[in-house]
A and B are shown apart, each in its own frame.
Chain A
Amino acid sequence: QKEVEQDPGPLSVPEGAIVSLNCTYSNSAFQYFMWYRQYSRKGPELLMYTYSSGNKEDGRFTAQVDKSSKYISLFIRDSQPSDSATYLCAMSSNSNYQLIWGAGTKLIIKP
């Protein structure tokens, strides 16, 4: 079993829909949770990071962490075609430890 599980998709939704992207993990020691966006043939871009449990909002993006269920989510409101990309979750037990990555979910927003 992988430490971090993420459905590779693709996930295709119409423009304007609310998108929910998720990762589950097995290591209860994880404390830092990140979401990265990667466009085709580009490097990943840090979208959001959360320490421990709770929610964090930034514009149209909301990150949620449920440590009791070992489940993290990224919500995108009012999705745009420009949001079409691969979204990778990553997590770490300590800010100086290496990141453990999900496989990435390919998201397609249809105009």
Chain B
Amino acid sequence: GAVVSQHPSRVICKSGTSVKIECRSLDFQATTMFWYRQFPKQSLMLMATSNEGSKATYEQGVEKDKFLINHASLTLSTLTVTSAHPEDSSFYICSATLTGSSYEQYFGPGTRLTVT
């Protein structure tokens, strides 16, 4: 149980275009979902926390107009990288919690974004 999927697993896009990444909880309803970014050989950096039906809470330094997060249902959250630039290239990972407790997070497999 507690499986989280992400789609796509890899995406290459051109500068200036937008990319949408989906995060789904497959066998449970997720009250809270988190979006992380991970650079090579570095730890996870929390970008934002999203709760179903409300606006996402962004971490300091994360541009909410650039990284649009929508949590339309208890099983789906999306991250849209708008007007992508090469420096947005990274590994994006989502996680979901059953109970809202941040320690009990179940992670998706990640999405490798490359902006050319």
Contact = CB atoms under 8 A, between A and B. Distances in A.
Interface size class of B (residues with CB under 8 A): 20 to 34
A95 B102 contact: yes
A49 B103 contact: yes
B67 interface: no
B43 A43 contact: no
A96 B57 CA distance: 14
B110 A104 contact: no
A90 B44 CA distance: 10
Interface string A11-38: 0000000000000000000001010100
A44 B36 CA distance: 11
Interface residues of A, number: 23
A95 B95 CA distance: 15
Contacts of B64: none
Given A49-B103, A98-B102, A44 B46 contact: no
A46 B104 contact: yes
Interface in B86-116: 91, 93, 95, 100-110, 112
